[in-house]
Amino acid sequence: MSVTILSMASTLTEIECINPATGAVIGKIDNMGAAEVAEAVARARGAFAHWGSLSLVDRLDYVRSVRDGLVASTESLCELICDETGKIYNEALINEFLVTAELIDFYLKHAPRILGKHRADPGLLKNKKAYKTYSPLGVVGVISPWNYPYSLSLGPTITALVAGNTVVLKPSEITPLIAIESQKIFAREGYPDIFQVVTGDGGTGAALVTSGVDKICFTGSVATGKKVMASAAETLTPVILELGGKDAMVVAEDADLDRASNAATWGAFTNAGQTCIAVERVYAVAPVYDRFVEKVVAKTKSLVPGKDMGFMTFPPQMEIVKRHVADAVAKGATILTGGSSDGMFHEPTVLVDVDHSMDIMTEETFGPVLPIMKVTSLDEALEKANDSKYGLSASVFAGSSEVKKLASERLDAGSVCVNDCLVAFGVASLPFGGVKESGMGRSHGEEGLLEFSKVKSVVSDITGLKSDPQWFPNKLMSPTVIKKLMRFRYGKSIAQKVKGAIGS
């Protein structure tokens, strides 16, 4: 989707929103500056005083009403997503709406347990009661990307709200309209200031990072994520970063090749490859390589444009895809199918004769290209899969339980799918996030909810005595008593090791 910034008489500018499939202007948004962002954060701060004090039951009632409103508007919102992104309707319905509804459902069921008071073992201090509690952070800033403008905007927003925070969301200037329409549904349910949308380009996002919010949740490129982290560090604002991926698929000798090839085709080309956990490289062992490639090529050729795969969204991303394919071909890769583009549609493309000297195997492509590399063994496949600065997700296809276990343990990624791909993000109870340059922090699951909470440890005396044994003059806690206690609790050998340190 192209972006045009137009000058206006006011202090703001306008950004045109373009349908990538047709080139038509479908809307305009304000390019907000620091002043407008500060106003939104101030409103959210004011709303937090009430929202953060509500019971979790009341917050969940609100979230349930929002979910019902979103579901009731599925048709119009899905159509808007398709207009903004160029993706096909079914992808919007499943990968945006269903995934988000599942996340909401998980928190409606499990947030009371996750955010409740949790007792802790006081250890030696049997005269104490120990527990931990969770409370909201305050105002959360969410900066979301253009590839999944609904699920990657509303997922963290809903999570932060359930935890008791208020939210200021800055959606991508490429696909902002779905966030604006969704916010209207939130506002209808009676709390208009707890979730606000600020629109604009990178300058708007930069202003949000430095606006005094209590946490930033950013989804986007590694390069921008590093800038967000550096800026947030100036005020020690904590961050959640979900960044790029170069996800690997490993195909073992005993894999079901029909399932593996079906998965590879879908995993590489769904959403036109514009998925952070898309299958971006495959390592197939030599004995099954030829048959696997043959099946992938046949399935790829059967895909119907507009029915099975939609358009790419962002023109600069199209240029990256073209550049990666050209670089690979120049270095010896072979295109077995696809390779061409028309406007914002890029043919699903399968490459072979690839290696790690090519950008297509090492840099995030974020487009409908599937490079497949022949390897001599499972060990080489796992080694190549881990030879990456990214570590968001990975997958392995194998028949043997031993191979599946070995591969899932050795693959260095935030999530691993066994005989499957991409679906870990759709399991709302599991944490999602990456290692290495794919980011830090987690969304979804218990961990995702706790990312937006403050934990407090509480220790309370239960005896009512005037003094504790370790308090001055602590005559009851002599070295002799301590050593006897250690022998009783940890064993004689442990006590002997600290004999010199404690004394006789």
Residues forming the active site: 242, 276
DSSP-assigned beta bridge partners for residue 418: 396
- Using DSSP's 3-state secondary structure scheme, residue 332 falls into coil
Contact partners, residue 457, CB within 8 Å, separation at least 6: 120, 130, 131, 132
Residue 139 CA: distances (Å) to CA of 37, 187, 212, 237: 13, 17, 9, 11
Running DSSP on this structure, what letter comes out for residue 452? T
The percent helix, strand, coil of the chain (3-state, each to 5) is: 45, 20, 35
Q: Which of 443, 434, 390 is nearest to 414 (CA)?
A: 434
- Cα 116 to Cα 437: distance, rounded to the nearest angstrom: 33
CA distance 229 to 233: 6
What DSSP designation does 432 have? B
User: Cα separation of 33 and 307, whole Å?
Assistant: 40
Please give the helix or strand (H or E) that residue 90 lies within, else none: helix 89-91
Residues 6+ apart with CB under 8 A from 91: 270, 271, 310
Interaxial angle between packed helices 151-162 and 56-72, expressed in degrees from 0 to 180 and rounded to the nearest 10: 160
How many whole angstroms separate alpha carbon 214 and alpha carbon 301?
A: 49
Beta-strand relationship, 128-136 and 118-120: antiparallel
Whole-angstrom distance, CA of residue 420 vs CA of residue 422 = 7
- Copy the structure tokens of residue 1: 């989707």
Q: How far is CA 402 from CA 225, 252, 415, 464, in A?
A: 37, 12, 19, 56
The set of residues, in sequence order, having a beta carbon less than 8 Å from that of 467 and lying 6+ positions away, is: none
**Residue 16's closest CA among 1, 30, 6, 28?**
28
